[in-house]
Amino acid sequence: MTLADQDVPVIAWDEPDGLIPRGTVVVIPGRGELPAVYERFGRRLSSDAYRVRAVADPAVDAELVRGQISGLLADSSLPAPRVLAGSDTGALFAIMLARSGLGADVDALVLAGLPATPQAGSAGTWEAELNARTFCPTHRGRLTASPLRRGALYEPIPADWLERADLGGLRVPILGIHGSDDPISPLGQVRDRYAAALSAELVSITAGRHDVLNDQPHRTVAAVVVLFLERIRQDAGPRPIAVSEHRGR
């Protein structure tokens, strides 16, 4: 079954009335996820006047999702900077798109829970999968209630995706966000992938699990993403806008 068979549309969250949009973020879900599970993340970014669009799961139907993203990048109503924000295999897919002909239309990447190896392990129970994904009770309830493919997190990554998703040579700014306690893609294994990038910042989230955009520290994660987006808007690259001058004991 393909995503087209399941009729998975692009979901949109726009800025509040009266605000000028500041940029566009295209969210690419990970294995088994539907775009609706990113509602909380999308609403938070849109409240800061970023237009957010969530596409379908590329691990199910890569061509359909590529078409969805191509259409969004070609939409003149969606303002720059245009940022791809991928989670899990969605992060790999974002890198591949940035390395493809679509890369000229991509201004930056946000990569969450970037996989480091092709196989995550055994599926086990649904409770075990939830524990690997998140400890946030709201997100756990949402995943349980959604038609998510249970066990999908442990499906093998498409054979060539890890090789094609090479950060080396990419010139766009990259923000990596990774849970310090991610059991699917351990933090220590992904550091070398980011080290190959020309301009990448890797932020670890204390006690974070694999679904780091939707885990318990989701407010902190969203704030980190917004700070990155603001820097991209100002062409600040890796340089912070808010600089701490003094910290008391």
pLDDT value for 124: 83
Q: Nearest Cα to 180, choosing from 218, 154, 210, 222?
A: 210
Q: Tell me if 86 sits within 8 A of 112, measured CB to CB.
A: yes
Q: How many CA atoms lie within 13 A of 75 on its CB side?
A: 17
Using 50, 70 and 90 to split pLDDT, how confident is the model at 120? low
Q: pLDDT tens digit string along 1-58? A: 344 444 678 999 999 999 999 999 999 999 999 999 999 999 999 999 999 999 999 9
Q: Model confidence over 228-241: pLDDT tens digits?
A: 999 999 875 657 77
Say what the pLDDT of residue 148 is: 81
What pLDDT score does 174 carry?
96
| DSSP state string for 40-98 | HHHHHHHHTTEEEEE---TTT-HHHHHHHHHHHHT-TTSPSSEEEEEETHHHHHHHHHH
